[in-house]
Chains A and B, each alone.
Chain A
Amino acid sequence: MARYDRAITVFSPDGHLFQVEYALEAVRKGNAAVGVRGTDTIVLGVEKKSTVKLQDSRSVRKIVSLDDHIGLACAGLKADARVLINRARIECQSHRLTVEDPVTVEYITRYIAGLQQKYTQSGGVRPFGLSTLIVGFDPYTGVPSLYQTDPSGTFSAWKANATGRNSNSMREFLEKNYKETSGQETVKLAIRALLEVVESGGKNIEVGVMTKEGLKQLEESEIDAIVAEIEAEKAAAEAAKKPASKET
């Protein structure tokens, strides 16, 4: 097995591309990220590690705009993310320049996934160590979309998805609790999924809300307020359960 991870272009006898799988491991070590699609809102949430006291947190933006109507969050190697995001931003403008139209969410996802795939089939390079969650509204139909790409270069559309650390727990939570939501309900659902694996509090979470007007980053105070609402709802649900069990 060890002989087959050196050069990315080599398949292993049982059909694996080990470098790609190792890249997926790198993603699994990255910060937790979640995306939830609503009818008129799409929300991205990312875990923020609050251990660094001296760092200026404003310089570490984990949810970025690729264009007016496209947002991206990722999990994995942040340096690789910077390169990919830069290429995607150039492509968004290049598309506008050549065809006088903004990109669709699917187009830019396909572009990013294509870029990630190229690096799994070239000599002497390693794959990008990150998975991305891409959100946006189609500029013509106004339909909201959430897409995910991974280091192998595959992509697909999702109603809700999670990547990075403990993504399985978040995905399980979303599978159990997903329903069609809009506006603030979508934001709450995304934050609830993130709180399953992240320490509670506004300073540990970064949230971006994409509406037809564009991508809005929520302030720490706004996130704290929503987290407080969620905790209150949870407490109320617990209290409602207790009297019933006492009777039996």
Chain B
Amino acid sequence: MECVFGMVGKGFALVVADTSAVNSILVHKSNEDKIMVLDSHKLMGASGEAGDRAQFTEYVQKNVALYQYRNGIPLTTKAAANFMRGELATALRKNPYMVNIVLAGHDKETGPSLYFIDYIATLHKVDKAAFGYGSYFALSMMDRHYHPNMTVDEAVKLADQCIEEIRSRLVVAPQNFVIKIVDKDGAREHSWRRTTKD
């Protein structure tokens, strides 16, 4: 029932994720932040097995930081995406990480970008992406209303429409969502969409 989706706008990229931590029928908490700030200009929204999610995302974050210390410059979003894909692919036929990732980043030379990385190491560079049962609703909504070079307001409005669809049509819809944005000024939290206070 986890939903993570994202889209690229004019000079920025948006990632939205639900914030529920669930174990079978029990909701542990509804303010779990699943969008990790990978470095100053990258966001990684991850869904899947909670343990694998934490393990994999933290491992990637520390390796991205190490690259920066060794080489004096940060990894590009494309390089980070390919690194992640490589790690997932290596682990796949032994001990797969059950994590699906939407990677959003902003590079000075190439602007904003969004990558779809699933647990069997599929990598696609896309303008809009979504994972989970909510993806059926989010992708349909984005297919209808998305256009290139949207402003932040337009993109957030579209994200809200997606969230509205998920809330009304998904049988066990997550209660709260978090929206994070990355642009030339960096990666940061944008806002929350709550139905419950935790």
Q: How far is the CB of B57 from chain A (nearest CB, A)?
A: 11
Q: Which residues of A contact B70 (CB under 8 A)?
A: 86, 89
Q: Which residues of B contact A97 (CB under 8 A)?
A: 58-59, 62
Q: How many angstroms from the CA of A89 to the CA of B67 in the assembled complex? A: 10
> Is B170 in contact with chain A by the CB < 8 A criterion?
no
> Is A65 in contact with chain B by the CB < 8 A criterion?
yes
Prevailing SS type, chain B contact patch: helix
0/1 string, A56-68, CB within 8 A of B gives 1: 0000000001110
> Is B63 in contact with chain A by the CB < 8 A criterion?
yes
> Is A49 in contact with chain B by the CB < 8 A criterion?
no
Q: Which residues of B contact A86 (CB under 8 A)?
A: 70
> Is B65 in contact with chain A by the CB < 8 A criterion?
yes
By the criterion CB–CB under 8 Å, are A65 and B62 in contact?
A: no
Q: How many angstroms from the CA of A94 to the CA of B63 in the assembled complex? A: 9
Among A86, A90, A93, A94, residue most surrounded by chain B Cβ atoms (within 10 Å) = A93
Q: How far is the CB of A213 from chain B (nearest CB, A)?
A: 15
Q: Enumerate B44-85 residues with CB–CB distance to A below 8 Å.
A: 58-59, 62-63, 65-66, 69-70
How many residues on chain B are close to A (CB under 8 Å)? 8
Q: Enumerate B109-161 residues with CB–CB distance to A below 8 Å.
A: none
> Is A96 in contact with chain B by the CB < 8 A criterion?
yes
By the criterion CB–CB under 8 Å, are B59 and A65 in contact?
A: no
Minimal Cβ-Cβ distance residue in B for A58: B72
Q: How many angstroms from the CA of A211 to the CA of B58 in the assembled complex? A: 27
Q: How many angstroms from the CA of A89 to the CA of B63 in the assembled complex? A: 11
How many residues on chain A are close to B (CB under 8 Å)? 11
Q: Which residues of A contact B63 (CB under 8 A)?
A: 93
Q: How far is the CB of B98 from chain A (nearest CB, A)?
A: 20
Q: Which residues of B contact A65 (CB under 8 A)?
A: 69
Q: Which residues of B contact A96 (CB under 8 A)?
A: 62, 65
Q: How far is the CB of A134 from chain B (nearest CB, A)?
A: 15
Q: Which residues of B contact A93 (CB under 8 A)?
A: 62-63, 65-66, 69
Q: How far is the CB of A21 from chain B (nearest CB, A)?
A: 32
Minimal Cβ-Cβ distance residue in B for A67: B69
Minimal Cβ-Cβ distance residue in B for A97: B62
Minimal Cβ-Cβ distance residue in B for A88: B69
Minimal Cβ-Cβ distance residue in A for B63: A93
Q: How far is the CB of A70 from chain B (nearest CB, A)?
A: 10
Q: Which residues of A contact B66 (CB under 8 A)?
A: 89-90, 93
Q: How many angstroms from the CA of A67 to the CA of B68 in the assembled complex? A: 10
By the criterion CB–CB under 8 Å, are B69 and A94 in contact?
A: no
Q: Enumerate A81-103 residues with CB–CB distance to B below 8 Å.
A: 86, 89-90, 92-94, 96-97
By the criterion CB–CB under 8 Å, are A66 and B69 in contact?
A: yes
Q: How many angstroms from the CA of A90 to the CA of B69 in the assembled complex? A: 9
0/1 string, B159-173, CB within 8 A of A gives 1: 000000000000000
Q: How far is the CB of A68 from chain B (nearest CB, A)?
A: 9
Q: How many angstroms from the CA of A89 to the CA of B68 in the assembled complex? A: 10
Q: How many angstroms from the CA of A65 to the CA of B71 in the assembled complex? A: 11
Q: How far is the CB of B51 from chain A (nearest CB, A)?
A: 15
Q: Which residues of B contact A90 (CB under 8 A)?
A: 66
A to B CB contacts below 8 Å, 20 in the list: A65-B69, A66-B69, A67-B69, A86-B70, A89-B66, A89-B69, A89-B70, A90-B66, A92-B69, A93-B62, A93-B63, A93-B65, A93-B66, A93-B69, A94-B62, A96-B62, A96-B65, A97-B58, A97-B59, A97-B62
Q: A86-B70, A93-B69 are in contact. List 17 more A-B contacts (CB 8 A).
A: A65-B69, A66-B69, A67-B69, A89-B66, A89-B69, A89-B70, A90-B66, A92-B69, A93-B62, A93-B63, A93-B65, A93-B66, A94-B62, A96-B62, A97-B58, A97-B59, A97-B62
